[in-house]
Amino acid sequence: MEQTTATLLRRLVRPSPAPAPLTPARALRIAMTRAAERSISLPLAVLGVSEDEGPLDDLLSRLEEGLMIVALTQGEEPVGLIALDAEARAAAIEVQALGRVSPLPPEPREITVADVTLARPLLSAFLEEAEAAIAGTSLAGWLHGPALAARLPGPREATMLLGDGLYRVVRLSLDLDAGGRQGLILLMVRLPGQARPTPAEAVPAPTVAPQVLAAQVALDAVLHRLSLPLAEAEALHVGQLLPLPGVTVASVRLEGSGGVDLGSARLGQVAGMRAIRIEQPPPPALDQLPIPAESLPPMLESALGPV
């Protein structure tokens, strides 16, 4: 009896073993469960947590299809993204609209503004809980108050928004507690020390302008054009004179490649050689001016015809 009592006393005074250290996976599990319950009263369990690090383009190329992606900012600077798959997104909407998660899988459809609005409380709560939960783990310092920003249509837009560097991505697979339905939440944030590079002084992009401007261009000086029957054209011979009615030295038109009209010119000479002088375009004639029909007197309108 005395030996039994002594054994019990030794057990009572024996120091209890130190608690096992909190792992990042367990911290994120706790954060997700608390966030779902606190924000939208969604009961769920975390089935698994995976973690990866790498360059931005590499991680974005491995994102799952059909994610609802929301950008994350710290201050005014984009630092990452958070995303829900179709199952998790539908569960967040159903529990708020119906009070429970439907046992039936969601119908495929486009993501709407209402979807993002209804999912924001869950996403925001998870960010807060995750930052607090990982403070005592090896992930401490990874999250610094990221805030939800606008929705991104896809990985391509995320590439344009986020700066290059190394990022960490964590994926939490979720048991949505409704007919075996499972979902996914994903969080990707830039690693500490991977600051977005400040934009350098703008350097003009190389262009082909110098080469293009130095290229040779053929111009045609057209004095007159006339149409002849085929029989008359075939009968033309050297030395024949052709009447050009209405043609003067000021009738030259300057044309570029493809017959593009470059303006009028005047025929002349320079140093004994034929030359043309580019002229200012003549002012538009009265019949070329745009005149609203309703501003014309009836008599003048009938004289000019339809305008």
With a cut of 50, say whether residue 47 has pLDDT above it.
yes
Please tell me the predicted confidence (pLDDT) of residue 219: 81
Please tell me the predicted confidence (pLDDT) of residue 282: 64
Does the pTM surpass 0.75? The reply is no
In the numeric block, which tokens belong to residue 271? 């140093």
Contacts 24+ apart (CB under 8 A), 262-268: 262/219, 265/221, 267/221, 267/223
Measured CA to CA in angstroms, residue 27 lies from 15, 49, 219 at distances of 26, 10, 76
Lowest mean pLDDT among 76-90, 248-262, 283-297: 283-297
Q: What's the one-letter identity of residue 268?
A: G
Please tell me the predicted confidence (pLDDT) of residue 227: 82
In the numeric block, which tokens belong to residue 44? 């769920």
**Cα(60)–Cα(98) distance, integer angstroms:** 34
Ordered by start, the domain boundaries in the chain are 45-189
Helix (H) or strand (E) holding 51: strand 45-55
Lowest mean pLDDT among 189-193, 218-222, 293-297: 293-297
Assigned CATH for 45-189: 3.40.1550.10
With a cut of 50, say whether residue 202 has pLDDT above it.
no
Provide the pairing of β-strand 182-190 with 220-222: unpaired
The 10s digit of each residue's pLDDT in 66-85 is 999 999 999 889 999 999 99
Nearest to 251 by CA among 226, 217, 227: 226
> What burial letters (b/e) apply to 231-256, b meaning 16+ CB within 10 Å?
eeeeeeeeeeeeeeeeeeeeebbbbe
The 10s digit of each residue's pLDDT in 89-116 is 999 999 999 999 998 888 999 999 999 9
Please tell me the predicted confidence (pLDDT) of residue 195: 56
Measured CA to CA in angstroms, residue 202 lies from 164, 165, 199, 286, 300 at distances of 18, 21, 8, 50, 59
How confident is the model over 259-268, as a mean pLDDT? 78
Nearest to 286 by CA among 300, 298, 269, 270: 300
Reported as a pLDDT band with limits 50, 70 and 90, residue 200 is: very low
**Cα(28)–Cα(205) distance, integer angstroms:** 46
| Residue whose pair of structure tokens reads 């053929």 in the numeric block | 218
**Cα(18)–Cα(160) distance, integer angstroms:** 48
With a cut of 50, say whether residue 203 has pLDDT above it.
no
Q: What's the one-letter identity of residue 277?
A: R
Residues 6+ apart with CB under 8 A from 201: none
